[in-house]
Amino acid sequence: MAYPKRKKTLFYREGAVTVKYLKGMVEGFKLKFLKKKPFGSIIFFLFFVSHESWAAVVPMAKPVRIPIARESGSAPSMPRIYGARVSGRPLVLIDPGHGGHDPGSSSRDGRLREKEVTLAIGLAIRDALIRSGRVRVALTREDDRFLPLVTRREIGRRMNADLLISIHADSAAVGNPHGATIYTLSEVASDKIAARLAARENQADISGSRELRNQNSEVKSILYDLTRRETMNASVSFASLLQRELQDRIPFRSHYHRFAGFVVLKAPDVPSVLMETGYISNPVEAARLFSRGYRENLALGVRRAIEIYFARRLARLAEVSDLKPDRSKEKIVTRKIKR
């Protein structure tokens, strides 16, 4: 099924950032140094990142479009979208890790494989979100197939997804650690364990990745950095919500939120988290992961976190819309003054 290309909306402090609007500001304020001096661009960027009046400066502007990375060969087919067909409902993309010739981690006896449990959990989350009816949902894979990491990430961008959740199961060579962990993007890993895990998962991507196209514009470069920063903030916010809604349903590690450079999380305009749902190498936890009741309970917690996340975003949008000046009243006042 083909999807029309749509502009990607990203909210920064309850406002949307646009290249067109910023260009107009540059021209309006005659900030010619932005075109000639790179230092001026950096100062301009830092000013608006730190300034509290940003939301008032750019309320509900048109969205910025960041080009999608092009892969060699034919474009991947887009997955089916489930759920409400009501216009404006957010789209959540669930990404069951591994698949096909890549089994992922396995239990100590080799009988249980990560690719099977991630798909089962992904399907449980999909069903829970369909029953909710508050969002639309799609899966990167619904069967046992291999997808490169870059393809998974770019599917979310091509579908204009509002949130991506990548599902995995952890493993350990020694001992019997247990508990879930949630990862968000950072080029610098939070610890050695996170770095090793990211390296291991990223090795599964045999296709490699390509950098996004150069924008050839200092203003667009600033907007790219701003967009990526806000996406990372949104990802961290959702990770916190996810742990809060799941902590009474499944066990977590003591340091439940970690940072690493997972390829699948690197979309600059799609908030993304990677969730290690437990240790498949731990016999007790592996039995839980392959339990239908446990997976359904986990899916309910994920659904609750998603509903709260988008409810908060909607509330922020409503708040920003209230900040917009009433132009009709301004016109009436102007007419009275002229009279």
Domain annotation for the chain: domains and CATH numbers: 11-64+319-338 (no CATH), 82-311 (3.40.630.40)
Per-residue pLDDT, 200: 52
One DSSP character per residue, 146-211 reads: ---HHHHHHHHHHTT-SEEEEEEEE--SSS----EEEEEE-SS-SSHHHHHHHHHHHTT-TT---P
pLDDT at residue number 63: 40
The Cα-based distances of 303 to 27, 69, 75, 306, 311 in angstroms read 45, 30, 30, 5, 12
Max Cα distance, the chain (Å): 88
Query: How far is Cα 138 from Cα 123, in angstroms, rounded to an integer?
Result: 10
How much is the pLDDT for 16? 39
Which residues of the chain are modeled with pLDDT < 50?
1-23, 25-26, 28-37, 39-73, 189-190, 194, 198, 201-215, 332-334, 336-337
Amino acid 226: pLDDT: 83
- Strand blocks (E) in 88-154: 91-96, 136-139
Both tokens assigned to 289:
């992961």
pLDDT tens digits for 177-235? 999 999 999 855 445 554 555 455 444 443 333 334 444 567 667 777 788 889 999 99
Record the pTM. Answer: 0.69
Quick one: pLDDT at residue 15?
39
User: pLDDT for 55-87, tens place per residue?
Assistant: 333 333 334 444 444 444 456 689 999 997 777
What is residue 86's predicted lDDT score, i.e. its pLDDT? 74
